[in-house]
Structure formats: structure tokens, C-alpha cells
Chains A and B, each alone.
Chain A
Amino acid sequence: MRRLILASPLWLSPALLAQPLFAEDAPRQEPTAAPKIAYSPVLVPDDATATATPPGSGRDTAAVGDIAPADERSSVGSGIPHIEVFQGGKLLLTNGITTVEGPSGGGIATWATIGGREMGGGIGISGNVTAIELPDFGWRSFGGAIGVGDRIELSYQRQSFDTRTAGAALGLGEGYTFNQDIYGAKLRLLGDAVYGPSMLPQFALGVEYKRNLDGPVIALLGASDDESVDYTFSATKLLLEHSLLVNATARLTKANQLGLLGFGSAQDGCQLQFEGSLAYMLSRRAVIGAEYRSKPDNLGLGEDDWMDIFAAYALTKNITLTAAYVDLGSIATFEDQRGGYLQAQVAF
């Protein structure tokens, strides 16, 4: 190395001398300054009459740009896929809110959206607390979801359904509370809710493993199982021309009142049900809409379909507040359970 340099005096620029010339086999190092990439030189009209000037003195600056460090934004050149954690990137509200069962969607209907604010190559999370106040019951749920690359969503939701005074009338004891854990996974199959052909929605397949924590009680009610799996297939599209989001979901389920009253009965098993949502965007941050969800009546207690009208507001890009008026019909023979729904969701 050293001999080679000495034999070629033309190489002896000051830059080369600054390298560790005296280390016998020291590799030639790249300069430590930020690397530059050169494009075709651009002549700025004002300078067109100026004589040639050294590089970097102004004339060439428009043609020279910084190369971002490989670890900052792209995986180009690093050879290792770069994962952005909690960097966000989704458009406001396109991560949806959290359904009462944990996956991203509307309030009661699952959508094909993926929770968390991440886009491709990123990881996002969301967390929510949800409360529903009904004439005879109180609902609390909380949970979280992890989104991977806007492709896969893993969710968990704990539901608590307080029977209050109705519990005494049902012979369960006042304030008896049904609890349920729901573990969900959703895969975005194809399509894009925002981009791509306007008639091609985003499709997603979901599974929800539901585990009711009150096995003995729901067995008395006539339910055949205290755990079950729901399968969902959703299509969601933002029809920008009309500022309208449309969602349709088919659900294969055995659940009685989402599973809070167990699954199936001696007579009935898996059934195909439908969930639909329509939402109108008032602004980037605000959306109003309505939802409908059909439900089976395995227990013969007159279980009704659910519906709601909702308003969601993105307080910041990370916080979404949702308020809704819900009509949950008859629950455990208590009719006309209409009330208010509130949810706070945080997402990164």
C-alpha cells in the first residue's frame, strides 16, 4: 500500500495524506464528512455569467444533495430490513377506532383496517378504554393491539359486563359481572382502503378467540361452550369522491351477546352474521356514521341485532375520541337497552 502510493505521486493529495498512511495494511477509509451524491450539474440562471468556481461554493450546490444515513429512513444499502417502531405514517383516522371486541373498526363492526398508525415496514400499537351505559347494565372494556407493517394486527380486549340491579332479578346477585377475554388476529389480504382502484376495497381475514370467564353461570343460561372462535371477513373502502367510508363484514360465530353469555346452545351452533358501517368524513379529524350488526339468538332470550350512530374525533394524530348512541335491543330479557358509548383510543 505504502509503496504503491509512493510510486504514484499524483495520488498524494492532502486528503490521502490525512489517512493513516503509516499503518502497513490500513484500508483506505471514506471521508468521515456526510457523504454527498452528485447529480447532473444545474446552472442557476443568476450565476450563468459567472466564471467557474470551486465545487461547494454555490454554483454546484443545487446539484449536490446529502445522502441520508442508511439507518435513518431507508434500508437501501444496509442489507438489513429497517423497522420503524411507533413512527406512525397512517392518514388520520385510517387506523379506525377499536371495536368492543378489540380489532380495529367502528364501534361494533370490525373493519379491514389494521390498528396502530404504522405503514409498511413499521410497527404500531393502540390502546383503548371503552364504556357503554345502558338502562339496566354497564359495559367496560379495555385492551390493546399491535399492528405490523399495516398487514397484521394482533389484539386483546377484556370485557366486563355489569348486571347491576338486573343481576338480582336474574338470580345472579346484584352487580354480578360477566367477564370475557378476546384474543384477535387480523390479516390484510389485498386491496387498499385509501389508494388503488376506487372499486377495489381493502380485504382482511380475522379470527377472534373468545374465552368467557364465567363458565358455570353461562352453562346455567343454556350456553354449550365457554370458549369459541369467531371468523371475520371484512371489506373496507374510503370512497373519497363522496367523503364516505363503507364497510361490510361477514362473521361466522356461535357467540351469545358477543360471548358474554357464552357460545351456542343445545340447539344452535355456528351462524353467519353481518356487520355494516357507513361513515361520512366532515374533516380530516371528524367523522360521523352509523353501524348495524346482526346477531344470532341461540339462547332463545330474544337477542336483538345491534346498531349505533357515532361521531369520532382525532384530537391529535395519536388520540381518537368516539361517542355513540347505541341500541343493543334486548339483553338477557331486559328490553330496550339503548344508551351511550364512549371510547378513548391512543395509537402510535
Chain B
Amino acid sequence: MLLTMTAAAALMLLQQAPAEDVDWDAEFGVEEERRDPVTGELPVDPYVQDNSNAGAEPYDSARLAAAFGGQLGIQRIAERTVELSEADPRIAEIFVAHDMVRLKRTLGEQFCYLLDAGCDYTGRDMKSSHAGLGVTRSDMNALVENLQAAMGEADVPFAAQNKLLARLAPMSRDVIER
């Protein structure tokens, strides 16, 4: 026993500490993803951009877009929804290690497109953008509550809020996985 301890201690002392400036990513062949210096977004695999990826037909109502505060208001609601969800212990895990910069932009584009506020949706379709996230109906409910909170903070009338939710709710087919 004592011999073992002595041998172990000696061997530990003999070990060399790794050099300070080792690039471990290179050692293990991990490729770094660099954020785009302009947009701040991480690169994604190529896909075909199309408004049909938004997952629903847009409204045709200038009044509805105005109720959401136009493009700027809609973008702020989308960003706020993502922020609330990242801080929501019920669903925060889903967002970990995903590109929140890109999500805020594409979610805002999707809302903006569906509400006919003059945007094109450039994100991926609902099925591939949610693939493997394991989203449940409970998670959807939590997101809906956060979106409702964001819309409430922006003083969007409740009936108008529901019009947006009406376009989003059927997407559960592609979003909910379990």
C-alpha cells in the first residue's frame, strides 16, 4: 500500500504539465465557428430561402401590422419573446447553445411576414429549424405565455395578439416532437 502511494506520488511529480499555449481545438480537430462581423450570426448550412418557410399564409391587413407597432415594434416583440424564454426555467434549456442573434432576427421576420408588415422570411422551415429540439406541448404553452407577455408589454390589443397566435398555433405539427 505504502509502495503504491509512493510510486503514484513519484509518477505524478514526473508528469509534465502541458504547455500553456496549446491550441486544444486544433489538437482535437474542433473547427471554430466565427460570428459574422456584420450580423453577429453564426454560419448555417445552406438552404433554400422562401417565404413559404414561414409556415403559414400572411394576413392582408395594414391595421393589424400597425397594432403591433410596424416592423420595428414586431422586431422588438420577437426579441423580447426570445429574451423572456431564455430566462424562463421551463424552456431555457431548449435555447442553450443556439444562435440567439439569428433566432431573434428570423423570428422577427416570421412575425413581420405573417402580419403583413412588409418583410420577407429568410429563415428555415419550421420542421428543420425545430428538428431534434424535443419540444413538447407544455414547451409551446410556455413560449405562448412569453409571447403574450411581450405583446402585452408592447400594448398590442388582445384580439390582435390572438391573430398572430392563430397563425402560429397550427405549426405545432412541425414543432412538437414528443
Contact = CB atoms under 8 A, between A and B. Distances in A.
B93 interface: yes
Nearest to B100: A62
B48 interface: no
B128 interface: no
A179 to B, nearest CB: 39
Interface string B154-175: 0000110011011001101100
User: What class of interface size applies to chain B in its complex with A?
Assistant: 35 or more
B97 A283 contact: no
A184 B31 CA distance: 59
Contact of B173 (A45, A90, A197): A197
Contacts of B24: 52, 55
Given A12-B15, A42-B33, A243-B162, A90 B42 contact: no
A55 B32 CA distance: 14
A192 interface: yes
B40 to A, nearest CB: 7
Given A89-B138, A283-B158, A195 B172 contact: yes
A284 interface: yes
B169 A194 contact: yes
Contact of B21 (A41, A45, A52, A63): A52
Please classify the interface of chain B as helix (H, G, I), strand (E, B), loop, or mixed, using the class held by over half of its residues: helix
B169 A9 contact: no
A43 B32 contact: yes
Contact of B8 (A17, A45, A196): A17
Contact of A6 (B8, B93, B144): B8
Given A119-B136, A195-B172, A65 B30 contact: no
A242 B134 CA distance: 30
Q: Which of B12, B22, B142 has the most CB of A within 10 A?
A: B12
Given A119-B138, A192-B172, A17 B158 contact: no
A40 B97 CA distance: 8
Contacts of B138: 89, 119-122
Contacts of B15: 9-10, 12
A6 B169 contact: no
B158 A195 contact: no
A241 interface: yes
16 contacts: A9-B15, A17-B8, A21-B4, A22-B5, A39-B96, A42-B33, A43-B32, A62-B97, A68-B93, A90-B141, A120-B136, A121-B136, A195-B170, A197-B170, A283-B158, A284-B158
Interface of A: 2, 6, 9-10, 12, 14, 17, 21-22, 39-45, 48, 51-52, 55, 62-63, 65, 68, 73-74, 76, 89-91, 119-122, 150, 192, 194-198, 239-243, 281-284
